[in-house]
Structure 1
Amino acid sequence: MDIRGLPDLDRRLAGCRACPRLVAWREEVARTKRAAFADWTYWGRPVPGFGPPDARLLIIGLAPAAHGGNRTGRMFTGDRSGDVLYRAMYDVGLASQPTSVSAGDGLELYGVRVTAPVHCAPPANKPTPEERDTCRHWLVRELGLLRPTLRAVVVLGAFGWQAALPAFAEAGWTVPRPRPAFAHGTRVRLDGPDGSHGPDGPEGLDLFGCFHVSQRNTFTGRLTPEMLREVLRTAADAAGLGDPVARKTR
């Protein structure tokens, strides 16, 4: 498949029908809707990543929420998890506004892109390992397109971590052996295939682990706003995004 840039990737991704269970679920949710969103026309398709094509920082989640990204067509938009994530991104200077309610709300991200290893809303928020693996090639291609500028990645949750490591390996970065375990606040360096950072291999990446912004974690205090902001600040610095004012000019 000849992909010409992130807009082309996003367009092709939105037409994917590779996983029958996910296709059936996302389309059923889009038909039946939730009462609070009865007047919405649901997106009901795979949800592309969101953010500039020259992002230096990437945030990887799990999958779109049935009545969040599956409704709005934008990652982490229109659900409680997104409320927490984008508020924290705004607080550290990575987003133009603290809320994310619809694809047309004017939100801009500064030097950061948000994506997921699974692009369709799964039943009970639980994609199967087979669905995760089937969807991986989209993340691999996205990483390849971001490669010239990408310098740091934040992975939200253990599922995303397990899905992302093979994608980084396929995209050309060297993942340590044994594979590093997920933990909140962990930091792992990924180098190019030969350890170089030159034109013949990907630039090095700093990979950060962070508890997922799920309601289960944020309501119980397992992940607090300050914990999330601290990971985002550290990752933004590792990506070379500078201070919050400077980030808004990138």
Structure 2
Amino acid sequence: MRALDLLNERIVRCSRCPRLVAYREAVARVKRRQFRNWTYWGRPVPGFGDPDARLYVLGLAPAAHGGNRTGRVFTGDRSGDWLYEALYKFGFANQPTSIHRNDGLRLRDCYIGATVRCAPPGNKPLPEEFDNCQPYMVEELRLLARVRVVVALGKIAFDRYLKACGDLGHRIPSPSPVFGHGLSYPLPWGVTLIGSYHPSQQNTFTGKLTRRMFHSVFRQARRRLDQR
């Protein structure tokens, strides 16, 4: 069995954060009316994608009625609608939608992770919950040895990626890269880090993030990979 599969099995069994365990399980029991016929996943959500990926996309955490319902990261919510449409447009996915775990979606040269693997109340993990989940991201990055471009969705993911790289023994540049939408940083260990606003409804409904802006990030990722 692939090492990533073993890691994902450990993630799914995790119960390190009592607050998150209680919340994700309560959501899975109560459900949302429109999903009352679903059997919710209700567990930590593992990473997903191509184990030989050169593109790594890092999000914040599963949505209560998205990944926590479907069991796949960025699946079944509007953030995922934006993400998978963009990945498809630039050749990183075989289809533009992600509805459930068995919908035929395959990622190409792309892997998706999250800074926290359980849905948090209010979509706001606590500092200790980030820290409890950090070893999973560190191990995931260690195993994804071919990654050359990282797209961080939001400032938290951007900063957490850099922290994970420090944990892996990489020397973080000084001054440290600063998050901004579309800003990219070639890092000393051969990875380019690109910041993007998160495709949350708060950002997309207000126009802080437009399709054109979001596409520009993945166009940049594709261009950098094609140049290698």
More deviation, 121-130/231-240:
231-240
- Quote the Cα distance in structure 1 between the aligned partners of 2:74 and 2:81: 8
Query: 1:207-243: per-residue Cα shift (whole Å, max 9, x none)?
Result: 000000100111111111111111111112223488x
CA contact (8 A) 1:45 1:73 kept: yes
Q: How does 1:1-40 map to 2 (within 5 A)?
A: 5-40=3-38
Query: 1:39-86: per-residue Cα shift (whole Å, max 9, x none)?
Result: 111111110011011000000010000000000000000001001111
Paired position in structure 2 for 1:229 = 215
The yes-or-no answer on 1:52 pairing with 2:38 is no
The yes-or-no answer on 1:42 pairing with 2:28 is no
Q: Secondary structure at the match of 2:98?
A: coil
**TM score, norm. by length of structure 1:** 0.88
Q: What runs of 5+ residues in structure 1 fail to find an aligned partner?
A: 193-203, 243-250
- Quote the Cα distance in structure 2 between the aligned partners of 1:33 and 1:177: 46
The yes-or-no answer on 1:189 pairing with 2:186 is yes
Q: What runs of 5+ residues in structure 2 fail to find an aligned partner?
A: none
**TM score, norm. by length of structure 2:** 0.96
- How many aligned residue pairs are there? 228
- Quote the Cα distance in structure 1 between the aligned partners of 2:15 and 2:115: 15
The yes-or-no answer on 1:93 pairing with 2:91 is yes
Q: Secondary structure at the match of 1:239?
A: helix
Aligned with 1:180 (options 168, 174, 177): 177
- Quote the Cα distance in structure 2 between the aligned partners of 1:37 and 1:104: 17
- Quote the Cα distance in structure 1 between the aligned partners of 2:15 and 2:155: 26
- Quote the Cα distance in structure 1 between the aligned partners of 2:226 and 2:17: 37
Per-residue deviation, 1:169:
1.4
CA contact (8 A) 1:111 1:241 kept: no
- Quote the Cα distance in structure 1 between the aligned partners of 2:210 and 2:74: 18
| RMSD, aligned CA | 1.4
Aligned with 1:164 (options 155, 161, 165): 161
- Quote the Cα distance in structure 1 between the aligned partners of 2:41 and 2:18: 17
Structure 1 residues 241, 143: CA separation in 2 closer, same or farther (over 3 Å shift)? farther
Identity %: 54
More deviation, 231-240/57-66:
231-240
